[in-house]
Amino acid sequence: MENQYFTSDELNVKNRAFLWGDSVKVSFFVRNGELIMDEECYFFLMASMRKMRMNIPLTYTLEFFQSLFQKESIEGKGIKNGIINFLVFRNNDGPILAKSSVSYFYEITEMEDVLTVHQRPLELDLIKEINVNNNLLSNIRVHCPENIYGGIYAQENDLDDVILLNPNKRIARATTGNLLFLEGDVIKIPKQTEGAYISPLMENFVTFLHKNNLADIQEHEIIAFESQKAEEILLISDEKGIFSVGKIRNKTFDNTRFLKLVESWKKSFN
């Protein structure tokens, strides 16, 4: 099904998102015709806009976004399940950029259930000729040419995605989201200081596992070789959903335990 698009104003090419990549993107999630994790996603949007020194309108309240998505998308377009990728960008309407107004654009990708692991496991590989930074802006979804390069590299090499390293040659994330490595009863996650994304979807998942003593969650500095030591690997993408990783180079991975953990998490929303 073709994605649904919505904008706050009529778009033209003379906007800073198009010209400069002056924008931030945050995902919201629709499940069974309702927003889930909307408060976490909203606060992440506000934090992302502050980091990019954007002028946050007084109208940008949680209730504003709940009403916007409910009226235009969930009820207006009959969206039952999907991911809302919301992009807010700075306008070119003032001499001081920090005081310029902002506009938004968002699209909705419909899927059966955002909390279900996609059926086909992914094939990944590490890419070493580029790396991603690990500074304040590396944790939010802003314009990132490394993601574009990595995505094209993956396509040209018949891969689904690539693992991006930081300048210290440690694992940061994939181009589309964060990686979780299962070894025994421990789930290792690259630290945000390593270049991993802040992810409301992943944070909700690992918080559930921690509160219910289903796994030992540990943030780590993970060298590239450790990806081969994992028993199972999960990729959580706020933008695209949840995926098992089935293969990295010549190493194949199971997905049985992560599937059970995600299924338990999903039931907590019912």
Q: Which single residue is written with the structure tokens 């998490």?
A: 265
- Residue 134's contacts (CB-CB under 8 Å, 6 or more residues apart) are 166, 167, 168, 172, 193, 194, 195
* Residue 229 pLDDT greater than 80, yes or no: yes
pLDDT band at 72 (very low <50, low <70, confident <90, very high): confident
* Residue 4 pLDDT greater than 90, yes or no: no
d(CA 169, CA 175): 16
pLDDT band at 92 (very low <50, low <70, confident <90, very high): confident
In this prediction, residue 1 carries a pLDDT of 45
Per-residue pLDDT tens digits for 140-167:
999 999 999 999 999 999 999 999 999 9
Percent of the chain with pLDDT over 70: 98
12 φ, ψ (degrees, to nearest 5): -140, 165
Per-residue pLDDT tens digits for 96-139:
999 999 999 999 999 999 999 999 999 999 999 999 999 999 99
Q: Which residues pair with 244 in a beta bridge?
A: 234
Q: pTM of the entire structure?
A: 0.94
| Residue of 99, 7, 8, 104 whose CA lies nearest to 54 | 99
In this prediction, residue 14 carries a pLDDT of 79
Dihedral of CA 24/105/30/82: which sign? negative
